[in-house]
Each structure stands twice: as structure tokens, then as C-alpha cells.
Amino acid sequence: MSTTLLDVAAVRRRYSSLAGDFVFLDAPGGSQVPDEVGEAIARTLREASGNLGAPYPTGHRVEEVLARAKQRGADFLGCTPDEVVYGMNMTTLNFALTRTAAREWEEGDEILVTKLDHDSNVAPWLELAHDRGFVVRLVDVHDDLTLDYDDLERQFSDRTRVVAFPFASNAVGTRNDVGRICALAREAGAISWIDAVHAAAHEPIDAVALGADVLLCSPYKFCGPHLGLGFVRRELAETWRPYKARPSATTPVGRRFETGTLPYELLGGAVATFDYLDAIGGMEAIRDYERTLGERFLAGLPSSVTVYGVAGMDGRVPTFLLNVEGVPASEVATGLAERGIGVWANDNWYCLGLVERLPPESVRVGFIHYNTAEEVDRLLAELAALA
């Protein structure tokens, strides 16, 4: 456990969007952003509106922004700056990297994905399979919506090229044993390909220590700008032939997979995001604080509310899929919005593998570090009132 206590009142003062009474419990769909991040984006546009290679001040500033973004991204992901890759968003970056990785694969090669995956880590593989004759296999889950590791191991073969899986489910909050899956992939001679978009907002990540080959996330889920952020293990990246314009930089190795001009102003915002997270105590403090919110929520649930998936906080992040007995999910979401609480209702959450395991529609509640115990209690009271 972290010894750093998160001062949530001080945290909230850094956000203009949190100054009112509205309760944002929709972080899985995109978090609120502290003012300093927006200011950093505007400052970068004012002071570094140029491009790499220009032999004058704005060009030098762009180089500084990129170098800083690479270093701070590496600090966040637990890797070297050379292994960091930026893109427009996780999905776009994933489509590009999957095609790069598979250039030399053969018809009949196999890809494992899971029923917990967001479609951004499934659709790229399905499209590749359609184009190239690959085989995509789906790993099952248990009744509590945790991954079936026995089924995973059964599905490995000598044709398995990659195991794609989520660090944590964006739909039901399940947290996978990432180190275990990476080890299984490595033993089988396959690449581990991790969607860490949802987990990155809630706990520290060390891609190298986990044994990951590829890991992707999105700063807009952890109080930053809309970007894709990735790690590609150096030894693997050096074997891939990238898709890119020929004069474009191919060193350091992470630059090989960045096509075209990056949004430098958003990189400036990303740097401010990483600095913000460190300033409030870091991801360990955030993880521990958010766990208390999740425990408070689960302990206070009225009997009329059903939560799907893992029963406690062990093995999950503070994201909860639920329904209120006798009240359609869409009515719960709109009713809570009228009462000043933001949650979503949906039928699939971009997690098509779980559709058959879940009701036709459900409500998603997601806590993040700027939420308070009082907001949890307010939600619980309103859920009880809706029932």
C-alpha cells in the first residue's frame, strides 16, 4: 500500500469542471481534465507552433516537447523513451501496429483474443484475419466475468502468433493477471499485446516488469488529452518493417511507428498530465484511494441493485456494471443525470464478447481519483430512491 495520502479536496481545486455540484462518475468514457493540462496545450500552441528540424526557436521547442513527452511517457509505462510510441488515439495506433506486426505472418497463423476485450483490441485482428487468412480464437470467461486461464492455455498452438487481452475490462472492471498471461505467451513463442486503456487510469504500470511485448493506453482516460500512447519492446520493434513515408525518422526505434506529424500541442498536454499525476501522489496513491471508494460503494449498495462480475475489490478496478431492479438502464442514467450525477447506459460497451453474458442494457459507474466519499454516498442514495 502507498504511504502517500491523496488530498482529494486539493486535487479537485485543480479542475474548473469540478467547481459545481454535478457528480462525474463517467470516467471510463473519458475523465475530466485539470486546468493545467489545457493551459499546457495552449502554451505549446503559442510557443512551439512549428515542426521538427526547423533551425530556429519554434523548431527547437518542438524538439524539446517531443523529447519531454517521450521521457514522461516512459516514466509512466516503465520503459525507455525509445520504446514509447504516440498516435492519434489507441484504436488508430492499434490498427497501424497490428498491420506492422503481421507483415510476415502466414495464412493460418492464429491470434488469441478474449471475451473481456474492448473491440479496439479485437477488430484490428479480425480485419487482418479477413484480409490475410489468419484465425482469430476467443478465450472464454467464468460466470463471475473473470478470464478462464485454463481455456487460454488450451487454445495455444504452434501457430499462435499473438495473445491480445485487456489489462482491465472497460465494461465490468475485471483486472487480469497480466504477468501470468505474458509469461504464457512468451512460453508459447507468441507476442503479448495488452490493451491498458482502462487500467492506466487506476494503477501503476511497468511494462518491462510485466514482460509485455506491446502495451497501449490513452491519456484521455487519466485526465489528459486525446492521444494514443504505446510501448513496443525494443527487441521486437527492431524486427518490424514500419509503414511510413521514406524520409520520415526511423530512429530511435519508437519513431519508426509514428506516421506523419504528431500533434505536438497534445504532447505538451500529456507532459502536464504526467506531471499532475506525480504531483498529487502518483499512481500508487491513486490506486489505494480509489479502492476505498469502491469498497464504500459495494458496502452501501441497496438490495435492489445488481452488480455484475467480481463481487469485491480484489481482482477489479473501481468500475461497476449494474442494473436497478424494475427500472430500465436508460431510465436510471437519465434519472441520475436529472439529479446531477453522470453515468452511462449502453448495450455493449464496445465489449462484444460479453454481450451474451449480460442483460440487454446496463448502467456503468466509474470512480476515479477526483471523486469523493460524499459523491459515492450521494449515488447510493439516488439509486435507492430510483428503486
Q: In what order do the strands lie in the sheet with 228-232?
A: 84-87, 228-232, 214-217, 191-195, 160-166, 110-114, 135-139
Q: What is the pLDDT of residue 309?
A: 96
For the chain, the straight-line distance linking the first and the last C-alpha, in angstroms and rounded, comes to: 37
* pLDDT for 305 beyond 90: yes
Q: Whole-model pTM?
A: 0.97
Mean pLDDT, range 135-156, rounded to an integer = 98
* pLDDT for 1 beyond 90: no
Domains of the chain: 8-32+281-386 (3.90.1150.10), 38-277 (3.40.640.10)
Percent of the chain past pLDDT 70, that is, above it, reads 99
Q: What is the pLDDT of residue 77?
A: 98
* Alpha helical stretches, state H, 118-163: 123-132, 149-155
- HSE, CB side, 13 Å, CA atoms: give it for residue 244: 19
Q: For the segment 251-281, what is each residue's pLDDT rounded down to a tens digit?
A: 888 889 998 899 999 999 999 999 999 999 9
Q: What is the pLDDT of residue 47?
A: 94
Q: What is the pLDDT of residue 2?
A: 62
